[in-house]
Structure 1
Amino acid sequence: MALTTFATTTFAAARSRAHGPTAALWHAVEVHRLPAEVDGACELTLCGTLARVALDEPWPSSSREVCGTCTTLAGVTPA
């Protein structure tokens, strides 16, 4: 009998900076470290943007300003 294990991926929300005419967006960051080590740190998001992790914001974010690419890559169904 073979056992199959499934890994659970944890994502955190991260806020990017606004650039030119674009708004700051919420992105997803895959978390591989303890929360205290990533809170407030700049991390590479799923879409390749650098953004500051904000553990007080849930992912997926309920904000309208959410990165569509991160949403898709994180497997989140848009509301």
Structure 2
Amino acid sequence: MMLQTTLFVAARSRAHGPTAALWHAVEVHRPPAEVDGACELTLCGSLARVSTEDSWPVAARDVCPACAVLSR
């Protein structure tokens, strides 16, 4: 029997036009050091830069509501 855990890291999107920068969740399937600083696809489908220094969920108000729901 194989135990599989899901690891989420925090990622910050860029503000684009009327859209504010938000914190998103990224599911990683490789060591976090391999994705540090890279842009990855978030749970909600956005692209955001991974920050392995910040754990998910982040303690901030500007969190993507879709990522918050999908990461539960």
After TM superposition, the score normalised by the length of structure 1 is 0.85
Using the alignment, how far apart are the partners of 2:6 and 2:31 within structure 1?
A: 13
* 1:27 corresponding residue in structure 2: 24
Q: Take 1:9 and 1:58, find their aligned partners in 2: how far apart are those partners?
A: 13
Q: 2:53 and 2:66 mapped to 1: Cα distance?
A: 22
The residue that corresponds to 1:57 in the other structure is 54
Identical-residue share of aligned pairs (%): 68
Note the C-alpha offset of 1:20.
1.1
- Per-residue deviation at 1:72? 0.4
Matched to 2:5, the amino acid is: T
Shift, 1:6, TM fit:
4.5
Structure (1 or 2) with the greater strand fraction: 2
* RCO comparison, higher one (Cα < 8 Å, 6+): 2
TM-score normalised by the chain length of structure 2: 0.92
State the shift of 1:69 in Å. Answer: 0.3
Instruction: Please identify the structure whose Cα radius of gyration is greater.
Output: 1
RMSD over aligned CA atoms reads: 1.2
Residue 25 of structure 1 aligns to which amino acid in structure 2?
Answer: L
